[in-house]
Amino acid sequence: MAQLILKNVYKRYDGQKKKMFKKKKKKENDFAVKDVSYECQDGEFIGILGPSGCGKSTTLRMVAGLEKITAGEIYIGDVLINDLQPKDRNIGLAFEDYALYPPLSIYENLAFNMRAKKKKEDEIKKAIEYVAPLMKIDDLLDMKPSALSGGQKQRVNIARAIVRRPGLLLLDEPLSHLDGKMRQQLRQEIKRMHHEIKCTTIIVTHDQMEAMSLADRIVIMKEGEIQQIGTPLEVYDDPANEFVAGFIGEPPMNLMPSVIEKQGDKYMFTFEGSELQVEVPKRYNKVVKDKMKVILGVRPVDVLIAEEEVSSTPVPVAVYENLGDERRISVRVGEMLLSMTTPEDVYYETGQNVQLVFHEERTHLFDPETGGRIK
């Protein structure tokens, strides 16, 4: 088990520099990973989350030693591992592709790396007998990979990564190939496995559900840079910026360009291109000013349709969806749709005018220029 520390880590691939030079791309597109720093505590489960191409895999591959870092330092415990060979890093790796050896049985696949390390047969057997029930592959040990389903192959793949009991377990999109139900099952198995062996683990994923359900803390990346590090609840409840706010949560947070205007002793949001006005929560009174442009962020679950008359302007219902365990209602606000969800069994006609109430404590403001949070 180990603590992992990344200090101001950068990665620039050779091609990136040339591309930038040729096309005069902005300087910030120069690096696949930019100034990434974080600490992963001993036994912690970290999720690296972000859209495709934001540098998640590159970060993981640098930790594994599969990519050279351009600048910065990576430590496992207090050992600087920048120049350490992958095999000397005591790391277990499982990628999206299973890469099992087809001619070998599952037992032999699990034993392969330990044999290469000249481990004794009884030690190998003991290690496999420990991980096989953990990943629920006891019944598969005599089979060949070709006889296994995708989910079973990924179980074996992860079992192979942990069989040598590495200090650090690195999982790169291990569930991406799997379909919905299998994905959810294996996600739970991974969580249970981590609870059992308490190995410091990093999972790279573009799937927020996966990161939210598995990780103790999530590192959210965009264009090579960390946007926020926090527990699943922190990044959901307290997003650092507009990007994180829009990326975390399903359905996504409503992010509505609006102008704050003072009316009497109140501040009101006026939504871009719309007549809709809603009062600004009083807790923002000290940070807002008249005619200030903001992005108003509010989650669909935090918007309600008022049952009694309130001071907000009526807006028409555009879409009503009954999804069984929740209703999703979108209202038209100028050119935009603002969506809300409710577990209540209510029905609204398209075109019906409704008045909205926003959850005061859960309404966020962002700077339209920088995307930064206004608190």
Q: How far apart are CA 356 and CA 340, in angstroms?
A: 10
Q: How far is the CB of 279 from ligand ADP (least distance, A)?
A: 40
The one among 58, 201, 254, 341 contacting ligand ADP by CB under 6 A: 58
Number of Cβ atoms within 10 Å of the Cβ of 40: 22
Q: Which of residues 2-31 bind ligand ADP (CB under 6 A)?
A: 13, 15-16
Are 219 and 49 in contact by the 8 Å Cβ rule? The answer is: yes
Are 284 and 278 in contact by the 8 Å Cβ rule? The answer is: no
Interface with ligand ADP by CB under 6 A: which range of 53-61, 209-217, 314-322, 328-336?
A: 53-61
Taking CB under 6 A as the rule, does residue 56 contact ligand ADP?
yes
Interface with ligand ADP by CB under 6 A: which range of 56-64, 152-160, 228-236, 307-315?
A: 56-64
Q: How far is the CB of 204 from ligand ADP (least distance, A)?
A: 6
Interface with ligand ADP by CB under 6 A: which range of 50-58, 175-183, 235-243, 270-278?
A: 50-58
Taking CB under 6 A as the rule, does residue 343 contact ligand ADP?
no
Q: Which is nearer to ligand ADP, 12 or 136 (CB)?
A: 12
The one among 2, 6, 9, 32 contacting ligand ADP by CB under 6 A: 32
Taking CB under 6 A as the rule, does residue 227 contact ligand ADP?
no
Taking CB under 6 A as the rule, does residue 174 contact ligand ADP?
no
Helix, strand, or coil here: 183? helix
Taking CB under 6 A as the rule, does residue 34 contact ligand ADP?
no
Q: How far is the CB of 98 from ligand ADP (least distance, A)?
A: 18
Among residues 30, 28, 62, 67, the alpha carbon closest in space to that of 48 is found at: 62
**217-222 and 45-49 beta bridge pairing:** parallel
Q: How far is the CB of 15 from ligand ADP (least distance, A)?
A: 5
Sheet holding 71-76, edge to edge: 33-40, 4-11, 71-76, 79-80
Taking CB under 6 A as the rule, does residue 103 contact ligand ADP?
no
Are 337 and 350 in contact by the 8 Å Cβ rule? The answer is: no
List Cα–Cα distances, 184 to 82, 189, 191, 213, 239, in angstroms. Answer: 35, 9, 11, 10, 26
Q: How far apart are CA 107 and CA 158, in angstroms?
A: 13
Structure tokens at 172: 């790169």
Q: Which is nearer to ligand ADP, 56 or 217 (CB)?
A: 56
CA atoms within 13 A on the CB side of 305: 24
Taking CB under 6 A as the rule, does residue 54 contact ligand ADP?
yes
Radius of gyration of the chain (CA): 25
Q: Catalog residues that contact ligand ADP under the rule CB under 6 A.
A: 13, 15-16, 32, 50, 52-58
